[in-house]
Amino acid sequence: MSRSVVIRDIRNVGIMAHIDAGKTTTTERMLYYSGFVHKMGNVDEGNTVTDYMQQERERGITIVSAAITFFWNNHQINLIDTPGHVDFTAEVQRSLRVLDGAVAVFCGVAGVQPQSETVWRQADMYKVPRIAYVNKMDRIGADFEKTIQSIVDKLKAKAVPIQIPIGSSDSFAGIIDVIEKKAYYFEDETSGVNVIASDIPDEYITEVESRYSALLEALADFNDEIMLKYLNGEEVSTELIHETIRAATIHNSFIPVLCGSSFKNKGVQPLLDAVVHYLPSPLDRGETQGFTSQASHEVEHRQANENEPFSGLVFKVITDPFVGQLSFVRVYSGKVSVGERVHNSTVGKNERIGKLLRVAANKREEVTQVFAGDIIAIPAMKFARTGDTLCAVEHPILYEKIDFAEPVINQSIEVKTSSDQDKLVEALTKLSEEDPTFRFFNDAESGQTIISGVGELHLEIIVDRIKREFNVQTKVGRPQVAYRESLGGEVVQEGVFERTGANGKGQYAKVVLHVTPNERGKGNTAEIHSELTQIPKQYFEIILQSCLESLNVGPLSGYPMTDIHISVIGGDYIEDSANDIAYKIAASIATRDACRKAHPIMLEPVFSVEVVSPEDYIGDVIADLSSRRGRIEGIQQQQSTQAVEAIVPLAQMFGYVTTLRSITQGRGSYSMKFYGYDIKI
């Protein structure tokens, strides 16, 4: 089997945005215009292709990222529609980790919203090139210029429009291509399939010329030829402009901005053209870097080439009722066929590939071979988990894992009938394998099963899935905050373990630690001091591991400890009595004693909250947030409404939606995202 599409014509692209900006609707229009589906799906009607879960269709929100492959202008587009709700940020994060480019969708009325900033920062972290699409230009209050300005101000992006809207709100009629200097209208009778090119309306000619000059001026920073022609007043070819926009976008230095109304079928085909023109192919993203093994820091590289050894990253795992576990893999290099054995370098195990599936949301097509640049699914892998690296058995490589947010909210869960207990454990195990931000454990004191997630909606969906997919009826307790413990001071502490054996041969180890607070948000770290000579190097790894494991239970209330740095500065060694167990116990004793003495403190998760409300109620909103121990960060005017930004402890936000509706007579809305941990008052 040979590759059906050359690698330079592949686009691995994600759709990302704040909730309700129109990601899924945009995806549905892309599928329709590309011929992948013959009837448009709508979120409100619950018949979209990518929102295939029952909970997604009922609630009108995306919960899990859905991968789908379609073709546009002889290019293969592997598209992932990601969730917009903050509780499902992990879905966005693991998708961006393996994508080559992204379309950032913004609401033309609201502009940049809190979750827009979160996903934008995640794209920055993985250096994913982006184009911006200002959607909902047909909505009352839509303001293209203001949205672009919010992208520039809030996201610090060099956002330059390459299109402008013809009208807005009810009068939105089409778009003008600033580069081609053409107006495009989308025929309502054919659901926007027929695109009609026309001359620019007279009232827009001056604005288009101004936008064209601003575009050339911005591109002159990236291309000397454009700079010379622009300064000399010479004409710049359309091809050169497209090439320069593409190069600058791939370099993450430029954000082309487009506009439209996906729901009204206006502007989606030019957006697809922009995906093909400006976003990178796997070749443009260059080589992928990894390590030879877990222990080695020797760097390995893989080119996006089918002649290289096979390598790929498992970025998502789901439980499928028909095929069991389904592992989604981005293939970075080489090729792999059904029946071949691959190596999971994260866990050091080999597996045989029984099937390869090309995925279209919840539909699958079997293929016999996949190549570099593909996004595919492999069923029934025994060892694969999210973030694992798969590679050729003879050519091991290990890619960087994906770091996910820690759960901040707990809830007890129990079955209604004792016969379902084993089914509950099985369901929780499978769901925790799917979702790296979901965990569960048994509370030793109460005997209860506790589930942990990143938000109330997150846990609500988990409980709903247990009922529907695993047919287990459950009862849940009130949500509880997952607190953390840390230190308010520093201490030097020694830990000694000494035991005399029955045969007279004893065990002995001594470890001296310097334990200090880390800067907030850095997590726990441990190191061996450079001048440590009293302990042989063979025990260093076990000591560091024991120190970090001992921070899992804090001295105040047993919550995990965070933001602590441990430096091993001294110790003692007796050759006949030293072993791994002795040093592990000594390190654990020293760590626990140090944490008790270094002024332990309780930390609580705090969230960044944005409340949008009509001006009449803004005083009551601020007063209510202040009563919840909220710290008001700012107030911004948004047309007829105002947006209040505040930092509020999670413990004070349970049930907030009911209070907000009461205060604002149902006209207020809010969004929140994890901000960090702060000292609990």
Structure confidence by residue, pLDDT tens digits, 322-338: 777 888 899 999 999 99
pLDDT tens digits for range 451-482: 988 878 888 888 988 988 888 999 998 888 88
- pTM (predicted TM-score): 0.74
With beta carbons less than 8 A apart as the criterion, state whether 666 and 630 touch: no
Nearest 5°: phi and psi at 498? -140, 130
With beta carbons less than 8 A apart as the criterion, state whether 399 and 288 touch: yes
User: Which band of pLDDT confidence, cut at 50, 70 and 90, is reported for residue 292?
Assistant: confident
**What pLDDT is stored for residue 404 in this prediction?**
79
**What pLDDT is stored for residue 353 in this prediction?**
93
> From 2.40.50.100, 2.40.30.10, 2.40.70.10, 3.40.1170.60, which CATH number describes the 288-392 domain?
2.40.30.10
> 163-167, 189-193, 401-405, 673-677: which range is least confident on average?
401-405
Distance CA 347, CA 328 (A): 17
Task: Name which of 136, 122, 118 is nearest 23 in CA terms.
Answer: 136
SS3 599: coil
DSSP state, residue 239: H
Taking 50 as the threshold, does the pLDDT of residue 16 lie above it?
yes
Total H helices, total E strands in the chain: 15, 37
With beta carbons less than 8 A apart as the criterion, state whether 543 and 583 touch: yes
With beta carbons less than 8 A apart as the criterion, state whether 652 and 630 touch: yes
Distance CA 249, CA 277 (A): 10
> 106-110, 173-177, 557-561, 661-665: which range is least confident on average?
661-665
Distance CA 482, CA 408 (A): 5
Within 8 A by CB and 6+ apart from 658, the residues are: none
Nearest 5°: phi and psi at 601? -130, 155
The CA-based dihedral angle spanning residues 84, 89, 94, 99, taken in that order and rounded to the nearest 10 degrees = 30
> Roughly how many angstroms between the first and final C-alpha of the chain, as a whole number?
64
**What pLDDT is stored for residue 504 in this prediction?**
62
**What pLDDT is stored for residue 639 in this prediction?**
66
User: Which band of pLDDT confidence, cut at 50, 70 and 90, is reported for residue 551?
Assistant: very high
User: Which band of pLDDT confidence, cut at 50, 70 and 90, is reported for residue 51?
Assistant: very low
Task: Name which of 527, 528, 530, 592 is nearest 561 in CA terms.
Answer: 592
> 82-86, 282-286, 531-535: which range is least confident on average?
82-86
Where are the domain boundaries for CATH 3.30.70.870 in the chain? Answer: 411-482
Q: Distances from the Cα of 317 to the Cαs of 52, 402, 485, in angstroms?
A: 16, 13, 32
Q: Distances from the Cα of 163 to the Cαs of 134, 171, 451, 533, in angstroms?
A: 10, 17, 47, 66
Where are the domain boundaries for CATH 3.40.50.300 in the chain? Answer: 7-278
Distance CA 570, CA 361 (A): 56
Taking 50 as the threshold, does the pLDDT of residue 56 lie above it?
no
Mean pLDDT of 570-577: 90
> 149-153, 299-303, 432-436, 558-562: which range is least confident on average?
432-436
Nearest 5°: phi and psi at 240? -65, -40
User: Which band of pLDDT confidence, cut at 50, 70 and 90, is reported for residue 664?
Assistant: confident
Distance CA 56, CA 50 (A): 9
Count other C-beta atoms under 10 Å from residue 452's C-beta. 21
Q: Which residue type does 252 have? A: N
Distance CA 501, CA 509 (A): 14
Q: Distances from the Cα of 161 to the Cαs of 134, 221, 258, 260, 562, in angstroms?
A: 10, 16, 6, 12, 44
User: Which band of pLDDT confidence, cut at 50, 70 and 90, is reported for residue 206?
Assistant: very high
Taking 80 as the threshold, does the pLDDT of residue 492 lie above it?
yes
pLDDT tens digits for range 366-381: 889 999 998 888 988 8
Per cent of the chain over pLDDT 90 is 52
Q: Average model confidence (pLDDT) for the chain?
A: 87
Taking 70 as the threshold, does the pLDDT of residue 41 lie above it?
no
**What pLDDT is stored for residue 636 in this prediction?**
87
Mean pLDDT of 654-669: 84
Burial of 248 (0-12, 13-18, 19+ CB in 10 A): buried
User: Which band of pLDDT confidence, cut at 50, 70 and 90, is reported for residue 401?
Assistant: confident
CATH 3.30.70.870, applies to 411-482: yes
The third-level CATH classification (topology) of the domain covering 485-598 is: Ribosomal Protein S5; domain 2 (3.30.230)
Burial of 363 (0-12, 13-18, 19+ CB in 10 A): exposed
Tracing tokens 């000619």 back to the chain, one arrives at: 205
Taking 60 as the threshold, does the pLDDT of residue 558 lie above it?
yes
**What pLDDT is stored for residue 52 in this prediction?**
45
**What pLDDT is stored for residue 87 in this prediction?**
61
Homologous superfamily, domain 7-278: P-loop containing nucleotide triphosphate hydrolases (3.40.50.300)
Between 640 and 605, where is the model more confident? Answer: 605
> Angle, to 10 degrees, between the axis of helix 224-231 and the axis of helix 205-219?
130
Distance CA 406, CA 342 (A): 31
User: Which band of pLDDT confidence, cut at 50, 70 and 90, is reported for residue 445?
Assistant: low
User: Which band of pLDDT confidence, cut at 50, 70 and 90, is reported for residue 62?
Assistant: very low
User: Which band of pLDDT confidence, cut at 50, 70 and 90, is reported for residue 179?
Assistant: very high
Taking 80 as the threshold, does the pLDDT of residue 60 lie above it?
no
Distance CA 288, CA 126 (A): 12
Tokens of 118: 């979160």
> From 3.40.50.300, 3.30.70.240, 1.25.50.20, 3.20.20.80, which CATH number describes the 602-679 domain?
3.30.70.240
SS3 186: strand
Count other C-beta atoms under 10 Å from residue 256's C-beta. 26
**What pLDDT is stored for residue 70 in this prediction?**
87
**What pLDDT is stored for residue 42 in this prediction?**
65
